[in-house]
């Protein structure tokens, strides 16, 4: 299988180079683009999380964002979004809303994250080689699990950004 090529970008998302995934992961100085989708139920009070397979090289066995993946070199945001939703949860088409973007950095990598939200209550057809389980969590259940070691570093960053987004939206209403 050919190694995934990723665009190296600046803080504005402008491409400044291309590198293989193996070079990008493990080098936090190489910012690359990813897409996240937060899947919520109709009432918006439950958030779907995926439990990553133990075979994954990043955050094995940890609960993570509903959908997340790299935007491959030359791929546009919408195509990456559609591909990742289909690959990870079997969602072929649904209404998707852009929420925000942010930079997430940890000792392993740096990502320019584009976060979207969609309403979908299943069924979900997930890849069992990459995902062990999916289930809906309440916001309070996630908050009480933040220091338990069962949530990925990337998801915790996403969750705090999402809480900030919800607070901002609620203040506007």
Please write the tens of the pLDDT for every residue from 44-88.
999 999 999 999 888 899 999 999 999 999 999 999 999 999 999
- Averaged pLDDT, 113-127: 94
Rounded mean pLDDT, 86-101: 92
The mean per-residue pLDDT over the stretch 107-135 comes to 93
Residue 167 confidence (pLDDT): 93
Query: Which CATH number is correct for 5-172, 3.40.109.10, 3.90.79.10, 3.40.630.30, 3.30.565.10?
Result: 3.90.79.10
Share of the chain above pLDDT 70, in %: 99
- Mean predicted confidence (pLDDT) in 122-133: 91
d(CA 45, CA 47): 7
What's the pLDDT score for residue 133?
A: 96
DSSP class per residue in 125-162? ---TTTEEEEEEEEHHHHHHHTTTT-B-HHHHHHHHHH
pLDDT of 130 higher than 70: yes
Q: Whole-structure pTM over 0.75, yes or no?
A: yes
Residue 1 has pLDDT above 70, yes or no: no
Listed by start position, the domains of the chain span 5-172
Q: Which of 52, 49, 84 has the alpha carbon at shortest distance from 66?
A: 49
- Region 114-125: mean pLDDT is 95
């Amino acid at each position: 299988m050919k190694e995934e090529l990723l665009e190296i970008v600046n803080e504005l998302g402008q491409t400044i180079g291309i590198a293989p995934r193996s070079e990008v992961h493990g080098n936090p100085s190489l910012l690359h683009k990813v897409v996240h989708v937060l899947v919520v139920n109709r009432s918006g009070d439950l958030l779907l999380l995926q439990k990553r397979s133990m075979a994954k090289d990043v955050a094995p066995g940890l609960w993570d964002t509903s959908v997340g993946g790299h935007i491959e070199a030359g791929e546009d945001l919408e195509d990456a979004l559609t591909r990742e939703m289909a690959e990870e949860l079997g969602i072929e088409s649904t209404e998707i809303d852009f929420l925000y973007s942010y930079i997430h950095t940890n000792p392993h990598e740096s990502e320019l994250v584009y976060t979207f939200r969609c309403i979908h209550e299943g069924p979900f057809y997930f890849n069992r080689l990459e995902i062990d389980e999916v289930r809906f969590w309440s916001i309070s259940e996630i908050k009480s699990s933040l220091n338990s070691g069962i949530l990925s570093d990337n998801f915790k960053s996403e969750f705090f950004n999402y809480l900030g987004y919800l607070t901002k939206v609620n203040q506007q209403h």
